[in-house]
Chain A
Amino acid sequence: MIVFAASDKGGTGRSVTSANLAYQRALAGDDVVYVDFDFGSPTAPAVFDVPDMQRGIENGGLHSYLEGTAPEPARIDVWRRTEHPVLRRTPIGAGRLVLLPGDASGGEFVTDQDSVHRCVDLLLRLNAEFDLILVDLSAGRSYAMDMVLEATAGRELQQVVSRWVVFHRWTRQHVIAAAGLVFAERGLLEGGAERGHDKDALRSVIRFVRAAVPDPDSALWSHLSPAQFAWMQMYDEKLRRLAAELGVGDSVLLGTVPLEPILQWREQLITEEEVVATQIANKETLDAMEAIARRLTEDTHWGQP
């Protein structure tokens, strides 16, 4: 299965959340590959704590591969290469966790027919090998999105299950932006249809994840005044209505990631260790990641019985 992680705006926690989803699926036993198609900002290695490659790898990353200057994109075995103290002990029963980084100095680039071709080859190859392919796309309407829409519209990838997860923060502006990315002119649906996707079919494989959502009931907000608390609840309700109106309501919601202080400081994987031993991360965050990771493959969450 291929899961594309998209967002309209930066700062939605798309990359860090999808990295956590990849981690959770690998823990559950799947062979997982995380593909960094965030071409303008190839920083996935930092999230996985891979040393010497905090910003992608020097050469031979995905930029070089898709542009045709590297024959195969470099792969990083996360369990083996990470400096994260917990991740280095490969958990028993875990699947593989492999990162395909971008080039360290790579930037956004115009994709062409050749890069679409190479993208198809890459996804086919990964699909033969991995249970889950998580593709992190550049924010907004991007060349990366164009490329994967075109790649998945082709005959070769038709039999491979693809799903889309659109990340957005829980604010008015972000909700509008996320809906726009999917439904507006030159959005995901229209762009997909132009490249040969069936609009309804494509729509049925898009779900939304709300990230960095403040939960008024959590301990984090225990100091709130009653007025503040009431306002938050009222506004939360208002946002829900807005989201529903715009087509990004609860019926297409895959999950919600609570506001997690440590993620505000440092994009990283949330492990059991951070929650139980050092207690620097919240259990709710870990639970949310686990739940969303599980739902990626649970058909009931994708409108299928």
Chain B
Amino acid sequence: MTDVFRETAAQPRTEAVPLSHLSLELGHLYMEDLADGRKGLRRHFERVRPWADAARADLAARTTGGRPRMSTCFLVDDYFSRFSTPADLLPLVLEEAERAGLVIDYLARESACAVADKVPLAQAVAGRLVESPPPGSYGARPPVSESGWLANGQRSPAGRSPQAMRRAEPWQPPSETNARRHSVFVDVELWDEDKDGNRTWSCPFLAAVWQLARLGLLRNEGEAVLRPRDASLGELPVEWDELPPLVRLNADADPFSAYRTCSVLPARFLSVEHAVRVILDQTDVDTGAVAQISRRTDNERQPMPGSVVERVSYVFYPEP
């Protein structure tokens, strides 16, 4: 029997997005990276090149049937500090990439991970955090006071003043949930707020949003977000806000989002990316989006890790 009467507002739906096999991040540019001009960029791309080749070779070896689809991307920070202009900086980045034999397919602004096209992505992801329960969690509400932080285990009990005539509990160490015997406890600051309640998202949190975008797992009310827009080098704006959140620089590029991601980053990003994994491991991504990807990888006979965090990989190259 089929439904005769339907209400569209009462039916959930999820828009599908095109997907590559791999999204390769060629870099993450902060103001300090430009301290010695284009030389820093040149060094970076030179170091990235061999790993990019390796990633491509690895993908080709593992892709069964059909052409391997891979897109590259590059992220520029315009959230924590503003420097240069798109019109000045982007040609420089592209030149140096090309010089190293690399093609940047997509370029994103870091602030797009906070709000893209008026959609508050970071806010939405924050609403999807589901904390990994330490053993003994039977459903009690976690205390409100620690909001804005996310740990990979149980914190040391707070030093609450005991009731009158009762002794204070002695100190207890924090513990990592599901640790292998010994804990590596991490507590990640997701945001801070000024006295007016304006929130600044932390770098790991925005990086986690960035990973979810690259994995094709972000939706807003079922609709795709952060759609890439084409931009030509001749018409780049002088204000970062006027640059689309995600720009497609290569007209022939494979889709931006992919089943898996790989990021080639200097080794100093290791702690940030550890924090990203702590966040991703506790993010309840859009169910419809996950299901779409599962169906497609099943059809393509691509083996896929079950959890989201395992779809993310890194190459950390040593500096200098």
Which residue of A39, A106, A112 contacts B160 across the interface (Cβ within 8 Å)? A112
Contact pick for B163, options A63, A68, A113, CB 8 Å = A63
A232-260, CB < 8 A from B: none
Does chain B have a CB within 8 A of A108? yes
Stretch touching chain A among B128-136, B137-145, B213-221: B137-145
Residue from A109, A112, A114 in contact with B164 in the complex, judged by beta carbons closer than 8 Å: A109
B320 at the interface (CB under 8 A from A): no
Asked if B143 and A114 make an inter-chain contact with CB atoms under 8 angstroms apart, the answer reads yes
- Report the interface size class on chain A: 10 to 19
Are the CB atoms of B143 and A106 closer together than 8 Å?
Answer: no
Residues from chain A with Cβ under 8 Å of B2 in the complex = none
- Nearest B residue to A40 via CB reads B164
Produce 1/0 per residue, A93-129, CB < 8 A to B.
0000000000000111110111001000000000000
Contact B143–A68 (Cβ < 8 Å): yes
Is B140 within 8 A of A108, CB to CB?
A: no
Interface residue B232 (Cβ < 8 Å from any Cβ of A): no
| A109/B161 contact (C-beta < 8 A), A68-B143, A114-B143, A114-B144 known | yes
User: When each residue 107-149 of chain B gets 1 if its CB lies under 8 Å from chain A and 0 otherwise, what string results?
Assistant: 0000000000000000000000000000000011101110000
Q: Is A71 an interface residue (CB 8 A)?
A: yes
| Interface of chain A: mostly helix, strand, loop or mixed | loop
- Interchain nearest-CB distance for B205 vs A (Å): 24
Confirm or deny: B166 has a beta carbon within 8 angstroms of a beta carbon on chain A: yes
In the complex formed, the residue of A with least CB distance to B161 is A110
* Cβ of A67 under 8 Å from chain B: yes
Asked if B165 is an interface residue, CB under 8 A from chain A, the answer is yes
Cα separation A63 to B160 with both chains bound (whole Å): 14
CB pairs A–B below 8 angstroms (30 shown): A39-B163, A40-B164, A63-B163, A67-B160, A67-B163, A68-B143, A71-B139, A71-B140, A71-B141, A106-B163, A107-B163, A107-B164, A107-B165, A107-B166, A108-B163, A108-B164, A109-B161, A109-B162, A109-B163, A109-B164, A110-B160, A110-B161, A112-B145, A112-B160, A113-B144, A113-B145, A114-B143, A114-B144, A114-B145, A117-B144
Given contacts A63-B163, A113-B144, A117-B144, 9 further A-B contacts (CB under 8 A): A67-B160, A68-B143, A71-B140, A106-B163, A107-B165, A110-B161, A112-B145, A114-B143, A114-B145
